């Protein structure tokens, strides 16, 4: 057996016009798929460990950086696809809404911190909403890094690698981030992750 490219949770044109089918063809079909191919090549098709196990075992190990980077990028991207929805965007509802008000003071304060995390991640990386020590936090990670290996529970992520937005937004990362929050963010997914934390 081998690791496989997970299907998108929606059709490739479902996020348009905010994220185009062309972007998903490149981002999911090429970038995400390349991480799967690379990991299978490195492990000779041995998929006996979960991606989470591989990430935790290889995080910070320079000799196994290739395994970590590819396993983490498969995991991060799969999590990212689910962090968006064709019916997403806007203010949260349910338990995550109450928790955001409790821990950030307001949705607007959360949104400001989340966009700042994405905007200040120099180069490639991710902005995250996580649960850590019973409290919500916004954090950012470079490259393939994930809060999963540091003990936090990821609830949502936004990919800020250029290939996530360049076809649709060119160099306008702030426009992409604003659209992510206004039109795409999947609060149902965040609520599921919060309930299971």
pLDDT mean for each 10 residues of the chain (197 residues): 95 98 98 97 93 96 97 98 97 97 98 98 97 98 96 97 96 97 98 97
CB distance 193 to 154 below 8 Å: yes
Does this model's pTM top 0.95?
Answer: yes
Which domains, from first to last, does the chain contain? 21-82 (1.10.287), 95-195 (3.55.40.20)
Cα–Cα dist 20/13, whole Å: 6
DSSP state of 174: H
Q: Is 134 exposed, middle or buried (0-12, 13-18, 19+ CB in 10 A)?
A: exposed
**Residue 174, pLDDT score:** 96
Cα–Cα dist 13/24, whole Å: 8
**Residue 154, pLDDT score:** 98
- Tokens in use for 135? 């409290």
**Residue 84, pLDDT score:** 98
Tokens 């970038």, residue located: 31
**Residue 66, pLDDT score:** 97
**Residue 1, pLDDT score:** 78
């Amino acid at each position: 057996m081998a690791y496989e490219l997970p299907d998108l949770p929606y059709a490739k044109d479902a996020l348009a016009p905010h994220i185009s089918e062309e972007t998903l063809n490149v981002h999911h079909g090429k970038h995400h798929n390349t991480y799967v191919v690379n990991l299978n090549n490195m492990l000779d098709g041995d998929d006996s460990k979960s991606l989470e196990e591989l990430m935790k075992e290889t995080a910070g190990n320079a000799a196994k950086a290739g395994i970590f980077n590819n396993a983490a990028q498969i995991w991060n991207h799969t999590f990212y696809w689910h962090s968006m929805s064709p019916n997403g965007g806007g203010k949260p509802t349910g338990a995550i809404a109450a928790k955001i008000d409790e821990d950030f003071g307001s949705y607007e304060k959360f949104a400001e911190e989340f966009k700042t995390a994405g905007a200040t991640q120099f180069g490639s990386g991710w902005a995250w909403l996580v649960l850590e020590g019973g409290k919500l936090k916004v954090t950012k990670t470079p490259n393939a890094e994930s809060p999963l290996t540091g003990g936090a529970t990821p609830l949502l992520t936004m990919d800020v690698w250029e290939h996530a937005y360049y076809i649709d937004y060119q160099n306008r990362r702030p426009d992409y981030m604003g659209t992510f929050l206004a039109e795409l963010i999947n609060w149902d997914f965040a609520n599921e992750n919060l309930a299971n934390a």
